[in-house]
Chains A and B, each alone.
Chain A
Amino acid sequence: GAGVSQSPSNKVTEKGKDVELRCDPISGHTALYWYRQSLGQGLEFLIYFQGNSAPDKSGLPSDRFSAERTGGSVSTLTIQRTQQEDSAVYLCASSLGGATIEKLFFGSGTQLSVL
């Protein structure tokens, strides 16, 4: 596609349920990032993928959070046993990697609301 695609755009779930968020990066982009943004806050780094591997998972808030990337393309972020504090916008970004790794293209995000 032309841009980074995320789905769903909105997700309302009950506390304790699992949710899965999807990101489809720009074709050819090897680097993929997940961020979380709470209302009025900056971007909180969650995880970074280079290809299919995740050299840095240090931003994942707890072991309830996991992410994978297959085929060097689509990534899913899974949150198990959701809590109200997980409510936020989850943003995915991709970049070509290499020398331009820091030039990120963002998806439109998934607004997660945990009731």
Chain B
Amino acid sequence: QKEVEQNSGPLSVPEGAIASLNCTYSDRGSQSFFWYRQYSGKSPELIMSIYSNGDKEDGRFTAQLNKASQYVSLLIRDSQPSDSATYLCAVKRDSNYQLIWGAGTKLIIKP
């Protein structure tokens, strides 16, 4: 079992719809959770971080964390073609500098 798992996709969503990306993790000691976006041929960039159970909203993006079930998700409302990218989930263990990365989910927003 991988420490951080994501469905590789591709996930195809019509423009204007809600895109839902999921990530599960195995280490219950994990404390910090991150979503990075990576456009094709580009480097990852941080779009959301979440530390507490529940929802965190930032514009069209909502991160959801459920530590009991060990999953974190990212919702993108009103999806745009420019949201088409690979979304990487990263998890930080307690008292550890290192991020553990999922392999990413490729999202395609169809006009």
> Which secondary structure characterizes the binding site on chain A?
loop
Known: A42-B103, A102-B34. A31 touches B44 (CB 8 A): no
Query: Is the CB of B78 closer than 8 A to any CB of chain A?
Result: no
A43 & B101 in contact (Cβ 8 Å cutoff)? yes
Query: Is the CB of A101 closer than 8 A to any CB of chain B?
Result: yes
B43 & A102 in contact (Cβ 8 Å cutoff)? no
The interface of chain B, by Cβ under 8 A from chain A, is 8, 32, 34, 36, 42-46, 49, 88, 90, 92, 97-99, 101-104
A48 & B49 in contact (Cβ 8 Å cutoff)? no
A103 & B43 in contact (Cβ 8 Å cutoff)? no
The interface of chain A, by Cβ under 8 A from chain B, is 31, 40-43, 45, 48, 50, 55-56, 91, 101-109
Which A residues lie within 8 Å of B98 (CB)? 45, 48, 56
